């Protein structure tokens, strides 16, 4: 299973969250590659079965500037066979709490096999662990389900 987590973090909260998500995948014996957005070769999108996007929200609910390249790539590349998921951190005191997660969610729903999204208040706490575990389980379930669908279709 080839999974990547691609993220951006301003204050360290989103970075903490994606490291937790990576650890939870590892506990399931699934190795994932973790990339800061600057390190991820966008041309490699289609080389992964699943991609988890980790983002903070900037300004008034906006996607951070550095994440716009991958956002546009998902809109323009042939990514219909990729399972995707989005995690993000934010402050619910703002009107558009984790607005970047919502922006990615809407776009990925139309262009990929969106599995799940997760919004975390500021930074991951003990109370968020069960939600993070379920997030990982849903991503893995969706990848396995999509794999079996492809096998059935290829046999027809």
Task: Order the strands of the 50-56 sheet from edge to edge.
Answer: 32-36, 3-7, 50-56, 83-90, 113-121
* Average pLDDT along the chain: 93
List the chain domain ranges. 3-155
Supply the DSSP symbol for 9.
-
Could you read off the pLDDT tens digit of each residue along the chain, which spans 156 residues? 899 999 999 999 999 999 999 999 999 999 999 999 999 999 999 999 999 999 999 988 899 999 999 999 999 999 999 999 999 999 988 889 999 999 999 999 999 999 999 999 999 999 999 999 999 999 999 999 987 765 555 555
**Short-list 149, 64, 57, CA closest to 102:** 57
User: How far is residue 71 from each of residues 49, 63, 88, 103, measured CA to CA in Å?
Assistant: 17, 9, 15, 9
Number of residues that this document lists for the chain: 156
What CATH number belongs to 3-155?
Answer: 3.40.50.360
Q: Give the pLDDT of residue 154.
A: 54
The H-or-E segment that residue 145 falls in is helix 129-155
């Amino acid at each position: 299973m080839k999974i990547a987590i691609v993220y951006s973090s301003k204050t360290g909260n989103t970075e903490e969250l994606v490291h937790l998500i990576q650890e939870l995948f590892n506990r399931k014996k699934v190795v994932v590659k973790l990339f800061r957005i600057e390190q991820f070769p966008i041309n490699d999108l289609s080389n992964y079965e699943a991609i988890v996007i980790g983002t903070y929200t900037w300004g008034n609910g906006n996607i951070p500037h550095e994440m716009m390249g991958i956002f546009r790539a998902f809109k323009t590349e042939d990514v219909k066979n990729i399972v995707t998921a989005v995690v993000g951190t934010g402050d619910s005191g703002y009107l558009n709490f984790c607005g970047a997660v919502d922006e990615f969610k809407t776009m990925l729903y139309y262009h990929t096999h969106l599995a799940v999204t997760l919004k975390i208040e500021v930074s991951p706490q003990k109370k968020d662990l069960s939600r993070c575990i379920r997030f990982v389980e849903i991503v893995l379930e969706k990848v396995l389900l999509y794999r079996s669908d492809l096998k059935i279709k290829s046999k027809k």
